[in-house]
Amino acid sequence: MTDTDKKYIHQYDNWTDWQFDQTTLLPLVADVRLLQGKLLGKMHSLGFDLPLEAQLDAMVLEVIKTSEIEGEILNNDQVRSSVARHLGIEHLYQNLAPPTREIDAIVEMMLKASFHFNEPLTLDELFAWHRALFPTGYSGLYAIRAGQLRDDRDGAMQVVSGGYGKTKVHFEAPSADRLPFELTQFLNWYNIDQANLDLTIKAGIAHLWFVTLHPFDDGNGRITRAITERLLAKSDNSPQRFYSMSAQILNQRADYYHILESTQKGFTPLTDWLVWFLTTLSQALEQALVRSERIVAKAQFWYEHQNSQLNERQVLMLNKLWTDFYGKLTTKKWATITKTSPDTALRDINDLIDKGILKKSQASGRSQNYELVVPEN
């Protein structure tokens, strides 16, 4: 194959001799390192319970968003329940729905990915992660080779978009017969410490490299992001995850797919991809710092109301308002979530207003909305 016939990066000789402009990247790495230090320093200053809660929130976000990128919507309460159990704080979330076996397996995979950041990454571990994603051996209605490399028996592995008859091929992965060699190359590189390569840059390279290989029938994106999380945990020198890269990627999903596609086509330096990756990582860290302020405010809130007499419904809803409640709080939403009548919901809400915990929103429309009375710092 001549160079003019080559369309994708992996078709070029020595395609993994990665080239990029260090001068362009170094200021971005410095920004990331500053934010990492700021976030970890803040977490370590909060005592024992609050960092655990921050880790819980970040891991719930990561598990939900890495699946949502692929179009799969997971139940928030079930994911939170599973993460809480794995972190040993399930007693704080007893009212949540129990997780499914599939959700438990995904959570365990993500936690193991970061907890064992100092251990070598092996092909057997990647197979185990893949089986965790597809415990039944099916992706939707389709049987897949769970825990095995794809074999291309149904044609080349392609990333496509568009409806039937109007498909557009964005990328075609290396053929299945190349995968054993290519994965050996990847794992050897991953498991060697390179003193002159910052781990945040290495995480960006690993992300692009593995998603380019696309070695499985399905689940390649989620496993790519699990590998990324593992290297970011190593860059933090901590198994505790306080920020979510997947949540930030989801916020910029169109840009993510565009920069991936443009980098995977042809044979160009990785500078643009790594600039995007490091910038997105900085944004994820900044969002984590904002969330940490809310965790502190939540702790202060419960400290101030520790002697308030509250029923289980009120505790459930107040915790939701502090964590994963979307939209405006109304009597109807309260009744739906707590599975009670509108009259009981209204009594619960009015009781919290009398206690100074909730207040009526000023911007209410047709129906009355309510919001938390947030303690001042």
Q: Residues annotated in the binding site for ATP, as ranges?
A: 218-225, 256-257
Could you tell me what percentage of the chain is helix, strand and coil, using 3-state DSSP and rounding each to the nearest 5? Answer: 60, 5, 35
State how far the Cα of 302 lies from the Cα of 214, in Å rounded to an integer: 46
State how far the Cα of 125 lies from the Cα of 133, in Å rounded to an integer: 13
DSSP conformational letter for 143: E
Annotated binding residues = 218-225, 256-257
Which tokens is 181 given?
């060699």
If phi over 0 gives left and psi between -120 and 50 gives alpha, with beta otherwise, what is residue 100? beta
Nearest to 105 by CA among 253, 226, 221: 226
Active site residue 214: yes
Query: Is the CB of residue 166 less than 8 Å from the CB of residue 146?
Result: no
Which three-class secondary structure state does DSSP give residue 371?
Answer: strand
Catalytic residue among 86, 214, 258, 305: 214
Which tokens is 323 given?
């964590």
End-to-end CA distance of the chain: 66
Which tokens is 142 given?
């389709």
Helix (H) or strand (E) holding 314: helix 312-322
State how far the Cα of 112 lies from the Cα of 129, in Å rounded to an integer: 9
State how far the Cα of 9 lies from the Cα of 177, in Å rounded to an integer: 17
**CA distances in angstroms from 238 to 80, 85, 107, 145, 195, listed in the order given:** 21, 20, 18, 33, 19
User: How many other CB atoms are there within 10 angstroms of residue 142's CB atom?
Assistant: 10
How many Å is the Cα radius of gyration of the chain?
23
Give the CA angle between residues 127, 132, 137 to the nearest 5°.
85
Which residues are within 8 A (CB) of 354 and not within 5 positions of it... i.e. 6 or more apart?
A: none
State how far the Cα of 320 lies from the Cα of 326, in Å rounded to an integer: 9
Catalytic machinery residues: 214
